[in-house]
Amino acid sequence: MNRRTLGRTGLQVSEVGYGAWGIGAKQWIGASDEESLRALRRAIDLGLNFIDTALAYGDGHSEKIVGQTVRGRRDQVYVATKIPPKNRRWPAERQIPVEQAYTADYVVSCTEESLRNLGTETIDLQQLHVWTDEFVGAGDWMAGIDRLKQQGKIRHFGISLGEHTPENGLRAVESGLVDTVQVIYNIFDQSPEDQLFPLCRKKNVGVLARVPFDEGGLTGKVTPQTEFPKEDFRNNYFKGNRKQEVYVRVEKIAADLQISLDQLPETALRFTLTHPAVSTVIPGMRSVKNAEANCRAGDGKGLSPAEISKLRPHRWIRNYYR
């Protein structure tokens, strides 16, 4: 597994990291803790050393599984987590007082809860789970982050940007407040390349590329016939004719690249890793089979310029989270 430097944190992180939303097993139905643990352990055995979880994923369940996995292996694996907004509203609403989302005391108490869930003394990367650039310089939340750093409870600080709005993080990067940003970046949503990635490179800010498979759409496994359980978040994400809409596009991508649909997940990961601003890509993968397949993409081989140009016209930004 190849490693890259996570911006100014200096951490050497595996090109493929672990997205731990699904293993929270609340908004994603169908995860079994035993298989999640096996998948995580297998990924680490294959050289993965970066895990992205959040206090909100299964209300601490994902953090507990991650904690169980990394106990005794803390020197081998970096853990990133996130602080949910106080008002539990995703994405961050613009023009609300920042205190409704984050305050100093609140970021400290959430971090302490995450430390208990993880069973560790320190969090390598703590992130705000929602962001709008209006938070720069507003309220007292940053004093809480500074306090956590001084106490050694967190090592580095980053933000997770809202869906399909990478430009609403430019001020944060420019201001020097953040060590990392997490952003949706995949074959469909290529927009972080426009302004965010060049700025991150200039400011030496690490980039976590999230949702590389468009929540499953870019794996080619979501077909018009796929049914998700009613409580599964993807039942809404892929509602109406969206599965059909995505599948038609995915078939076109495979045809343009002259690959089979089975090769699409690997291509989707390699697409993200071809951009030099990306430090690590964090696919969700709840099975050993998917963990093994995805770790193979972290061998340092990006897509060729010819393949990248064939993927350019497949840029397609829409918001299925609504």
Give the rounded distance of the alpha carbon of 100 from its chain centre. 24
Q: Can you tell me which of 147, 170, 287, 307 binds ligand NAP, judged by CB under 6 A?
A: 287
Q: Can you tell me which of 3, 38, 149, 221 binds ligand NAP, judged by CB under 6 A?
A: 221
What length is written for the chain?
322
DSSP string, 80-130: EEEEPPTT--SSPPTTS-GGGT--HHHHHHHHHHHHHHHT-S-EEEEEESS
Q: Can you tell me which of 85, 216, 298, 302 binds ligand NAP, judged by CB under 6 A?
A: 216
Shortest distance, CB of residue 243 to ligand NAP, whole angstroms? Answer: 13
Count residues binding ligand NAP (CB under 6 A).
Answer: 27
How far is residue 270's CA from residue 273's CA, in Å, rounded to a whole number? 5
Give the rounded distance of the alpha carbon of 195 from its chain centre. 19
Contact 135, 101 (CB under 8 A): yes
Candidates 64, 78, 320; CA nearest to 211 is 320
- Distant-in-sequence, close-in-space partners of 19: CB < 8 Å, separation ≥ 6: 52, 210, 211, 282, 283, 284, 285
Cβ distance to ligand NAP smaller for residue 4 or 129: 129
Shortest distance, CB of residue 310 to ligand NAP, whole angstroms? Answer: 21
Q: Does 80 bind ligand NAP (CB under 6 A)?
A: no
Secondary structure class of 314 (helix, strand, coil): helix
- Kindly indicate which of the ranges 4-12, 94-102, 135-143, 215-223 contains the residues binding ligand NAP, using the contact rule CB under 6 A: 215-223
Shortest distance, CB of residue 186 to ligand NAP, whole angstroms? Answer: 7
- Kindly indicate which of the ranges 95-103, 141-149, 171-179, 216-224 contains the residues binding ligand NAP, using the contact rule CB under 6 A: 216-224
How far is residue 238's CA from residue 224's CA, in Å, rounded to a whole number? 10
Q: Does 182 bind ligand NAP (CB under 6 A)?
A: yes
Tokens representing 141 are 């939340």
Q: Does 36 bind ligand NAP (CB under 6 A)?
A: no
- Kindly indicate which of the ranges 109-117, 204-212, 236-244, 298-306 contains the residues binding ligand NAP, using the contact rule CB under 6 A: 204-212
Return the residues of window 104-163 that contact ligand NAP according to CB under 6 A: 129, 160
Q: Does 169 bind ligand NAP (CB under 6 A)?
A: no
Cβ distance to ligand NAP smaller for residue 144 or 284: 284
Give the rounded distance of the alpha carbon of 43 from its chain centre. 16
Beta strands at 78-83 and 50-52: parallel, antiparallel or unpaired = parallel
Q: Does 206 bind ligand NAP (CB under 6 A)?
A: no
- Kindly indicate which of the ranges 4-12, 98-106, 167-175, 212-220 contains the residues binding ligand NAP, using the contact rule CB under 6 A: 212-220
Cβ distance to ligand NAP smaller for residue 19 or 298: 19
- Distant-in-sequence, close-in-space partners of 30: CB < 8 Å, separation ≥ 6: 229, 232, 286
Cβ distance to ligand NAP smaller for residue 217 or 305: 217
Candidates 170, 95, 179; CA nearest to 142 is 179
Q: Can you tell me which of 63, 133, 179, 214 binds ligand NAP, judged by CB under 6 A?
A: 214
> Which residues in this chain contact ligand NAP in the complex, by CB under 6 A?
19-22, 52, 129, 160, 182, 210-216, 219, 221, 265, 282-287, 290, 293-294
